[in-house]
Homo-oligomer: A and B are copies of this chain.
Amino acid sequence: MPTVPDPQVTPLRAPTIKDVAERAGVGFKTVSRVLNDEPNVRPETRDKVLDAVAALGYRRNSIASSIRRRDQRTSSIGLIVDDLANPFFGSLTRVVQEYAQARDHLVLIGSSDGSPERESELVGEFGARRVDGLIIVPNGDDQSYLEPERARGVPVVFVDRPGARIEADSVVSENADGVAAAVRHLAAAGHTRIAYLGDYETIYTFTERLRGFRTAMAEIGGADPRHIRTGLHTSAAAHEAVLDIFGAAPRPTALIASNNRITVGAVHALQHLGLRDRTAFIAFDDVELADLLRPALTVIAQDTTAIGTEAARSLFERLRDPAAPYRGARVPVRLVPRSSGEITPPESSL
């Protein structure tokens, strides 16, 4: 019985520069020269090499190349976000990837799902792949696990929230300003009883947004503690909170939701209560069909393009100049009036 070669034992091998060299009838260093556009190769020889490359379907092994290369660069960066399915992080990823691609860098992606452990594990994986830099949406309050990267000179940029216990560049939105602007927008229309729905207070962005709320409310006599709910991490929780707040007196005339999960629950609840057309509503984060709602949704929109671009720009700049001072960029948010935020308080409440 003839022996059949087991594909597991003799695995398919990719052609190497040596294979190319042999086929082209040159030394393998010459192939390397051609592939790296180095000088001192006769056009004639060059063509022979290129022909062999095409014939063999050769693809450079850039992992082998980066191990030997002087600068140890891999032309890749790592990006860690909370959840890719969240449109905010989706478009952030999009922008970063585009920026990197334009500079011939590849992007390794990971989702932390809010877990500091997973975040640190991913950094380990990326570090093992020797990424040239990292862009991270940090969780928890300790990013000191990045020490090996810092020591190796791998730059890190924190985005959406600042990192802790390690020096690095960061890019965040003007969260507090945004909510404060929303409050002032409502106050200008005559609202004083403004409710606020927040997510976990442990997360930087929500701490900041709540701070903006309190600051601006202080200007019109302070917020009613009964109208502030935090720790709402699902739309169901937000739904409950709205039923609760609006079921008791004094009923607020306006409502601010601090993210899109909360927005969904809150609008549903207002609808359920028949208050959707009578309660002013402003949401943090823009959503796809906001202007098709009735009333169309007034939002505080983050500039995801600017955030992503700035993060990527910071990273590549530091790759060029590791000695520059660290920068903490703050990206403005924008209040987009569409209708829901321009509903005036009922006469009776004045």
Contacts and interface: CB of A to CB of B under 8 A. Distances in A.
Interface of A: 7, 11-14, 57-64, 66-67, 70-72, 74, 76, 83-87, 89-91, 93-94, 97-98, 101, 106-111, 124-130, 147-148, 151-153, 260, 264, 267-268, 271, 287-294, 322-323
Contact of A111 (B57, B97, B264, B293): B97
Given A11-B71, A90-B87, A109-B107, A267 B287 contact: no
Contacts of A293: 289, 292-294
A187 to B, nearest CB: 26
Given A63-B129, A101-B111, A293-B289, A57 B148 contact: yes
- The quantity of this chain's copies bound in the complex is 2
* 10 A-B pairs closest in CB distance: A90-B90, A57-B148, A84-B94, A12-B153, A85-B94, A62-B128, A85-B91, A59-B127, A63-B63, A109-B109
Which of A83, A84, A130 is most buried by chain B, counting CB atoms within 10 A of its CB?
A: A84
A90 to B, nearest CB: 3
A106 B62 CA distance: 17
Contacts of A127: 59
B97 A61 contact: no
Given A84-B84, A107-B108, 19 more contacts: A11-B70, A57-B148, A62-B128, A63-B63, A76-B108, A76-B129, A84-B90, A86-B90, A87-B90, A87-B288, A90-B93, A106-B126, A108-B109, A267-B289, A267-B292, A268-B291, A268-B292, A271-B292, A289-B293
A110 B101 CA distance: 8
